Amino acid sequence: MTPRFRPPSCSFPTGTNGEESRAPDSTQARRDCLMRPAISPSLLLTLALSSVAFGQLVQKDTTFQMDDGVNIDATFFRPSGSPPDSGFPGVVLVHGLGGSKRDMFNIAQILGWKGYVALAYSVRGQGGSGGVRTFDGERERQDLRSLIAWLGSRSYVNPRRLAVVGGSQGGQHAWWAAMFGLGVRTIVAVAGFVGDLSSNGCIETAVLDVLSSSRVRYDATWSKVRAWVLADNLDSLQAVMPNRDDLVRDIRIPVMLSFAYRDWLFAVNEGLRQFDLLPGPKLLHLGTGYHGAPSSNEVESALYVLALNWVDRWLKGVAALPIPQVAYHVDGTWELREASRWPPEDVRWETFYLSPDGKLARRPPSSATRFILGQRLLDGSYTAERAAADGFGPSTVSKFRLDVLEFLSDPFLKRTEWAGSPECRFHLRWGPQKSQLHVQVYDVDPSGTWHFLQRGNIALRWGRRDTLVHFRCQAYAHEFAEGHRLGIRLTPIDFVEEEGRCYVIPFFNDFEDTLLAEAESPLEILFPLRGGEPVGVAQRAEARQLPIQFELGPPRPNPFNSAVSAELRLRAKSFVAARILDLRGRVIKELVAREYPPGAHLLRWDGLDQAGQPAPSGVYLLSVQVGKGSVTSKLCLVR
């Protein structure tokens, strides 16, 4: 009798052949499941006909019992013919949050037809699997490790030719397989995420959908995280989201990533940042269709073909088609374009200035101007909990009186492509109440109709300030037709009328911010454009072609108990002054005050004050001034 393989953390009993019970469908669940079961028939046929060995498949349901006694429901697919001498390559498929193994059956069948063994399973706490979904993912990583080991132990599978493919929650699992060295040759992560839950201090409303799905059995931590989100407790949220940057930098296998520009849950810019950290080989795909972003058959088809070609290349050594480093779709037709990097190497940075006459001017203002942006909560009893019950829709917005600013460019003279992340540079005076500033980007057609494209957000949390802030809008690719205009809307609440919902959880307090426009520090937005001609001016100042001159990365780790560091990136040689302040603005320690060359530099605080004594536990501010610009980051010291 052939002995039964028993990997370290799971056993493989006989197959159950039973059908799992399925929860009722829901809009939120469909949003969570990235690899949707409903692949269009034409796409399925195209992929099948492109396969190297269309034939019968062996499909078997089974159950794995993990070392903690939890049963994991799974199904594996394998070609019915004899394996090649080296064995079949194998792929582990992982579904999105709230879904089940069945969401991956279509792609599993396609892989089977292409000569792969595919293993699809329901993550614990979902579908037909037992247990609960943990927040930190440690238990799920052990499950994944065991299933990869089991697949590689099959006599007909090549253990050196394994991959993990998944979307959303499954994309996170694919990341884990690469970061923690789980024995795979490559991964494909679709809308996968290993970063922060916030973007520039703003928390996406879709986070609450994830934290309260009726199709997931959660552990106790999830309810705590939901309470922190509703209370805007950003410090606690960041404490439970460990930084994975060093693990990403150390990945030594090929990685394919796919993100949606208008993902309601995961900011595309965070995905782009992670992509930049990867040493390679790597492939970036940008499009739509995940976590509430508009769906597109063209994008879905391109994603499947790219992913299959990627897996073929690294598991079979097939390189029949060249694979670009960046493949991105342009909205509207969702045409697929290729580039060697993101943003594309031939973009030019066009500067638009916010003008008092409501225009996006091409020259800075000649005199000082100020704009007021704020909100007033009309119902003092209205809370984030009630807004969540209202779906953060029009009813939520009606509880506020809002000051909104709109600006409009001159018409584009020729068809012009926007590809990249617009960069905002604003002189702001805010406080003492915390506030939010949202930049929404529109295509305004000749009839005057505003069509929403993308947005950028920043939360201003820490006391009264008068400083220069800069941040990026989320990346996008769009073509402005001849005669269309660029529209910018500044708003204290990130509500998009076309989609009927807020992207970001608002602050439930009154505030009034002042935007200051002066000749030496204008309110400006830099757009990465391709083709066409400059809008509204024949020449633009060379000094204004460059993006923001410096960026301060998030402090890591945060909270901390011994030392904390933040990466400062300079575009040009600059004088840098960095200091640690308490919440009253008193200087705790001067870090640096000297000139730095362009590039990346690490600002580090060892938790000691100016006298060399340990600073007490508490909240501090890292204040960094570069030239005339400054930025502040919050630090939490825990002794």
Highest mean pLDDT among 472-481, 511-520, 561-570, 600-609: 472-481
Given this model, what pLDDT does residue 19 score?
33
Q: What's the CA gap between 256 and 307, in Å, rounded? A: 8
Q: Could you check whether the bond before residue 281 is cis, i.e. omega within 30 degrees of 0?
A: yes
Clarify whether residues 456 and 505 are in a common domain.
yes
**Alpha carbon separation from 125 to 16, 32, 138, 206, 561 (Å, rounded):** 19, 15, 14, 20, 34
Given this model, what pLDDT does residue 121 score?
98
Check whether 36 has a pLDDT greater than 80: no
Here the CATH number for the domain that contains residue 403 is: 2.60.120.260
Clarify whether residues 355 and 440 are in a common domain.
yes
Check whether 375 has a pLDDT greater than 60: yes
Check whether 539 has a pLDDT greater than 60: no
Give yes or no for a contact between 458 and 269, defined as CB atoms under 8 angstroms apart. Answer: no
Strand order of the sheet with strand 405-408? 405-408, 485-491, 435-444, 450-460
Given this model, what pLDDT does residue 63 score?
97
The domain total for the chain is 3
Place of tokens 């506020």: 400
Give yes or no for a contact between 112 and 78, defined as CB atoms under 8 angstroms apart. Answer: yes
Given this model, what pLDDT does residue 414 score?
93
What letter represents residue 462's amino acid?
Answer: W
Given this model, what pLDDT does residue 240 score?
83
Give yes or no for a contact between 342 and 326, defined as CB atoms under 8 angstroms apart. Answer: yes
Q: Could you check whether the bond before residue 343 is cis, i.e. omega within 30 degrees of 0?
A: yes
Given this model, what pLDDT does residue 332 score?
84
Residue 580 domain-assigned?
Answer: yes
Cite the DSSP H helix spans in 535-591. none
Given this model, what pLDDT does residue 477 score?
98
- Helix (H) or strand (E) holding 41, with range, is helix 41-49
Given this model, what pLDDT does residue 13 score?
26
Last residue of one domain, picked from the residues 527, 544, 561: 544
Check whether 629 has a pLDDT greater than 80: no
Return the minimum-mean-pLDDT range out of 43-52, 87-96, 424-433, 557-566. Answer: 43-52
Given this model, what pLDDT does residue 6 score?
29
Confidence tier at 554 by pLDDT (50, 70, 90): confident
Average pLDDT over residues 358-373: 90
Check whether 15 has a pLDDT greater than 90: no
Q: What's the CA gap between 571 and 513, in Å, rounded? A: 29
Here the CATH number for the domain that contains residue 586 is: 2.60.40.4070
Q: What's the CA gap between 172 and 191, in Å, rounded? A: 8
Given this model, what pLDDT does residue 619 score?
81
Confidence tier at 389 by pLDDT (50, 70, 90): very high
pLDDT per position as a tens digit, 166-213:
999 999 999 999 999 999 999 999 998 766 678 888 999 999 988 888
Here the CATH number for the domain that contains residue 152 is: 3.40.50.1820
Residue-averaged pLDDT of the chain: 86
Q: What's the CA gap between 543 and 96, in Å, rounded? A: 46
Given this model, what pLDDT does residue 23 score?
32
Given this model, what pLDDT does residue 192 score?
83
Clarify whether residues 26 and 105 are in a common domain.
yes
Confidence tier at 233 by pLDDT (50, 70, 90): very high
Q: What's the CA gap between 360 and 410, in Å, rounded? A: 8
Residue 458 domain-assigned?
Answer: yes
Confidence tier at 472 by pLDDT (50, 70, 90): very high
Q: What's the CA gap between 447 and 467, in Å, rounded? A: 38
Place of tokens 């300030």: 465
Given this model, what pLDDT does residue 535 score?
63
Clarify whether residues 360 and 483 are in a common domain.
yes
Q: Say what percent of the chain tops pLDDT 70.
A: 87
Q: What's the CA gap between 387 and 396, in Å, rounded? A: 6
Clarify whether residues 580 and 605 are in a common domain.
yes
Residue 577 domain-assigned?
Answer: yes
Residue 495 domain-assigned?
Answer: yes
Check whether 392 has a pLDDT greater than 60: yes
Given this model, what pLDDT does residue 367 score?
83
Clarify whether residues 152 and 230 are in a common domain.
yes
In 3D, which of 76, 70, 113, 110 has the Cα closest to residue 92?
Answer: 76
Clarify whether residues 529 and 588 are in a common domain.
no
Residue 393 domain-assigned?
Answer: yes
Residue 321 domain-assigned?
Answer: no
Check whether 461 has a pLDDT greater than 90: no
Last residue of one domain, picked from the residues 241, 261, 285: 241
Give yes or no for a contact between 145 and 12, defined as CB atoms under 8 angstroms apart. Answer: no
Check whether 286 has a pLDDT greater than 50: yes
Given this model, what pLDDT does residue 283 score?
96
Residue 5 domain-assigned?
Answer: no
Return the minimum-mean-pLDDT range out of 80-94, 269-283, 476-490, 543-557. Answer: 543-557
3-state helix, strand and coil shares in percent for the chain, rounded to the nearest 5: 20, 35, 45
Residue-range definition of the domain harbouring residue 188 = 10-241
Give DSSP secondary structure letters for 90-106. EEEEE--TT--GGGGHH
The residue length of the chain stands at: 639
How many Cα atoms are found within 13 Å in the side-chain-facing hemisphere of 6?
6
Clarify whether residues 574 and 625 are in a common domain.
yes
Average pLDDT over residues 96-102: 95
Confidence tier at 37 by pLDDT (50, 70, 90): very low
Q: Under 8 Å CB-to-CB from 625, ≥6 apart: which residues?
A: 576, 577, 578
Q: What's the CA gap between 528 and 344, in Å, rounded? A: 9
Last residue of one domain, picked from the residues 544, 579, 598: 544
Check whether 34 has a pLDDT greater than 50: no
Q: What's the CA gap between 518 and 370, in Å, rounded? A: 9
Confidence tier at 540 by pLDDT (50, 70, 90): very low
Clarify whether residues 487 and 608 are in a common domain.
no
Tell me the angle at which helices 138-152 and 169-179 cross, rounded to the nearest 10 degrees: 70
Clarify whether residues 360 and 422 are in a common domain.
yes
Q: What's the CA gap between 262 and 278, in Å, rounded? A: 23
Q: What's the CA gap between 478 and 114, in Å, rounded? A: 35
Check whether 408 has a pLDDT greater than 50: yes
Check whether 3 has a pLDDT greater than 50: no
Return the minimum-mean-pLDDT range out of 14-23, 150-159, 222-231, 316-325. Answer: 14-23
Given this model, what pLDDT does residue 11 score?
28
Return the minimum-mean-pLDDT range out of 17-26, 464-473, 559-568. Answer: 17-26
Q: What's the CA gap between 310 and 317, in Å, rounded? A: 10
Given this model, what pLDDT does residue 585 score?
77
pLDDT per position as a tens digit, 107-124:
999 999 999 999 999 999
Clarify whether residues 444 and 579 are in a common domain.
no
What letter represents residue 639's amino acid?
Answer: R
Residue 207 domain-assigned?
Answer: yes
Check whether 543 has a pLDDT greater than 70: no
Q: Under 8 Å CB-to-CB from 336, ≥6 apart: which residues?
A: 298, 302, 327, 328, 329
How many Cα atoms are found within 13 Å in the side-chain-facing hemisphere of 589?
18
Place of tokens 């390559």: 89
Clarify whether residues 117 and 27 are in a common domain.
yes
Return the minimum-mean-pLDDT range out of 82-86, 321-325, 585-589. Answer: 321-325
